[in-house]
Amino acid sequence: MGLNAETTNTKLNELFIQLKECNSQKQSKILENKIWRLWETHPTNFQLTIDLKEGSRLVQNRNYLKAYNIFSKIIDKDPNWAEAWNRRATTLYLMGKHKNALKDIDIVLKLEKRHFGALIGKGQVYIEMKEYEKAFNSFLESSYINPMNSNTMELIPRISKLISEKII
């Protein structure tokens, strides 16, 4: 049984406070997983949760077009569900449609400004586009939300190096 939107937001707020105060990668990962589970669960429509899982399975199997179509149908049914936009953005990125991925990521961040996954994804898109300063800023913004995230802890120094090499 799903949670209603108000309960989900309350739980997310509590988890984000804990995430920001967290000082270990292990605890950070546990909190991240709890947040992802809430994001991946539609608050009122269980069928959309099932559809999101199916689309994600298709992405794992590299069936990007079918996954894109499923995520688009979910968005048509509920354009306010940030995770559907995030999954479609990821799919667009994997399809090499970087500008379209960025448009979807912008919508994700309007709906859920704390979406560290979307911010990391945005940074990855910018790396592909060789816009390293924008990538750095996306990773840095993600690190403010989730300071102990292993991805951003690894990516920020790497992208800093790319920026300095580009300047030289």
Distance CA 115, CA 84 (A): 12
Extract the runs of DSSP E, i.e. beta strands, from the chain: none
- Written as six digits, the tokens of 97 are 């449609």
Residue 3: band (very low, low, confident or very high) from pLDDT cuts 50, 70, 90: low
pLDDT tens column, 43-65: 999 999 999 999 999 999 999 99
Asked if pLDDT for residue 108 goes beyond 90, the answer is yes
Distance CA 84, CA 165 (A): 37
Asked if pLDDT for residue 166 goes beyond 70, the answer is yes
What CATH number was assigned to the domain covering residues 5-167? 1.25.40.10
Residue 1: band (very low, low, confident or very high) from pLDDT cuts 50, 70, 90: very low
Q: Are 74 and 52 in contact (CB under 8 A)?
A: yes
Q: Are 80 and 110 in contact (CB under 8 A)?
A: no
* Residue in the structure block whose two tokens are 């049984």: 1
Mean pLDDT value of segment 145-168:
89
Model-level pTM? Answer: 0.93
Indicate the domain borders of the chain. Answer: 5-167
Residues sharing a CB contact under 8 Å with residue 165, sequence separation 6 or more, in sequence order: none
Residues sharing a CB contact under 8 Å with residue 38, sequence separation 6 or more, in sequence order: 3, 8, 11, 12, 15
pLDDT tens column, 81-95: 999 999 999 999 999
